[in-house]
Each structure stands twice: as C-alpha cells, then as structure tokens.
C-alpha cells in the first residue's frame, strides 16, 4: 500500500504570497498517477492537477504541479483570497488509491 504524507499540515500565508505544498509517497509513484484536489468547506473536492503537472479544465495558471518518484509539489504562485482551502494529493498507481491527509492553507 502506498502512503502519501503531505506537509505542512497547515500553511499560514497572506494573499499575494507564494504557496508550496509537498506530497511524499512511501514508494515510487508514476507521474501519470498523481493528482491534486482543492476542497472548500461544505463542498466536494475539485480536481486541480492530474498527471502530476497538468492543470485540469478551468484551473488558473497560478496553480502548478511538479515532481516525480516519491516527491511531488503543488505551487500556487500568487495567492488569491479564494485559494484558501484544504489541498489533497492522491495516487492512482495501485489500489488502495490513497489520499494524503491534506494541507490546510489559511490566511495569515
């Protein structure tokens, strides 16, 4: 079973700043099998990034994903007020298709 560990658990930043979120896998994951989601309170998650680095439809270009093997990163270049939310990574390399525990991005 592949375990995903996200860090930090909580990230406190101000609008306009850059956010860097980490997702580390317990074993190597194909880049094509890593996705990132955003979830706001009371809402279903939304797909942000698939294949580790491709933006989903309608996702602004301030969101970018990178990484390979066991280390993946979600970067938000300049935070907008609507970006403060919880972010999850997920792997599809092998069942169970686990999520990371999430990173909460909060306004400083």
Partner 1 sequence: QVQLVESGGGVVQPGRSLRLSCAASGFTFTSCDYGMHWVRQAPGRGLEWVTVISCDGTIKYYADSVKGRFTISRDTSKNTLYLDMNNLRAEDTAVYYCARFDGTLSGFDIWGQGTMVTVSS
Rule CB under 8 A: say whether 63 interacts with partner 1: no
The secondary structure of residue 63, as a DSSP letter, is: E
Restricted to residues 67-106, the positions that interact with partner 1 (CB under 8 A) are 86, 88, 90, 92, 95-102
Q: Are 52 and 72 in contact (CB under 8 A)?
A: yes
Nearest residue (CB) to partner 1, 13 versus 56: 56
Shortest distance, CB of residue 44 to partner 1, whole angstroms? Answer: 4
Q: Count of residues binding partner 1 (CB under 8 A)?
A: 27
The secondary structure of residue 101, as a DSSP letter, is: -
Q: Are 107 and 16 in contact (CB under 8 A)?
A: no
Shortest distance, CB of residue 16 to partner 1, whole angstroms? Answer: 28
Restricted to residues 23-62, the positions that interact with partner 1 (CB under 8 A) are 32-33, 35, 37, 39, 44-47, 49-51, 54, 56-57
Binding site for partner 1 (CB under 8 A): 32-33, 35, 37, 39, 44-47, 49-51, 54, 56-57, 86, 88, 90, 92, 95-102
């Amino acid at each position: 079973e592949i375990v995903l560990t996200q860090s930090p658990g909580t990230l406190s930043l101000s609008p306009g700043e850059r956010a860097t979120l980490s997702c580390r896998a317990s074993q190597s994951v194909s880049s094509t099998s890593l996705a990132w989601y955003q979830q706001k309170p009371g809402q279903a998650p939304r797909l942000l990034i698939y294949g580790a680095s491709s933006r989903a439809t309608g996702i602004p270009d301030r969101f970018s994903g990178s990484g390979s093997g066991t280390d993946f990163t979600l970067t938000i270049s300049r935070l907008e007020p609507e970006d403060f939310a919880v972010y999850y990574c997920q792997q599809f390399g092998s069942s169970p298709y686990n999520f990371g525990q999430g990173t909460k991005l909060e306004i400083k």
